[in-house]
Amino acid sequence: MVEPSLLSVGTGDAARPIAVARREGATPGIFWLGGFRSDMNGSKALALDALGAEQGLAVTRFDYSGHGASGGDFNEGTISRWLEEAQSVFATTTGPQIIVGSSMGGWLALLLVRAMLAQGDHRVAGLVLIAPAVDMTQDLMLAQFTPAEHDALSNQGYVEQPSDYSPEPYRLTHGLIEDGEQHLLFGAVIETGCPVHILQGGQDTDVPQAHAIKLVTHLLHDPVTLTLIPDGDHRLSRPEDLERLRAAVLALVKDAKAS
């Protein structure tokens, strides 16, 4: 097991310690972006770390602020804040990288590669997006709120929803929803500059398969593979799902080494 170190992100009152686990190895490295309320010790993240150990590849995992072993308050979390952390951790890597983003991490992966391309950085050699929750604050949260939840968001500044993954309800803050508006990707062509492989479960109730298909229609200039898993759920953490994840990553690694 790789022991995490701490990376300080932000300044002043906004500074927070981010826990980062780095496995040394060859490139292209594997860079993990987890989902909302998940951490870097989930089954998919650990499967990627094991893949890196097996193949001799570098692997970088981290926890967003308010998640896992990182500091910071979860209720202060926004897409801007977590994207800043992803950029800071990515800056500690060297050479080409395969970014693997799960759920919210899929959205952050697309935002991260967009920011890098804008800076002239072409180190992202491929993207694997697992049930990518692109524009989730708008399409998968706000647009699905009941009238009572809209009232709660306006009057108390947050909405609490039960979760299938935690005994505690998920708190969705006004700050998270409002900040997400400046990062919306749908409605314009999404440029990645690299191959993209999307893994999507047909039984996913959190990010419906129609959402993944919608994403494909926005990826017009890059090679895209969409794997629909009819009996797959949102987590895609069964042994057969993890094997699909391994295969998708290894295919992109092979392409990167050949280019």
Residues with catalytic annotation?
103, 204, 234
Helix 239-258, helix 43-55: angle, nearest 10: 40
Q: What Rg, from alpha-carbon coordinates, does the chain have?
A: 17
Instruction: Report the alpha-carbon distance of residue 55 to residue 46 in Å, rounded.
Output: 14
* Helix %, strand %, coil % of the chain (to 5): 40, 25, 35
Beta-carbon neighbour count of residue 15 at 10 Å?
A: 12
Instruction: Report the alpha-carbon distance of residue 1 to residue 148 in Å, rounded.
Output: 45
Q: Is 12 left (phi over 0), alpha (psi -120 to 50) or beta?
A: left
Instruction: Report the alpha-carbon distance of residue 172 to residue 65 in Å, rounded.
Output: 15
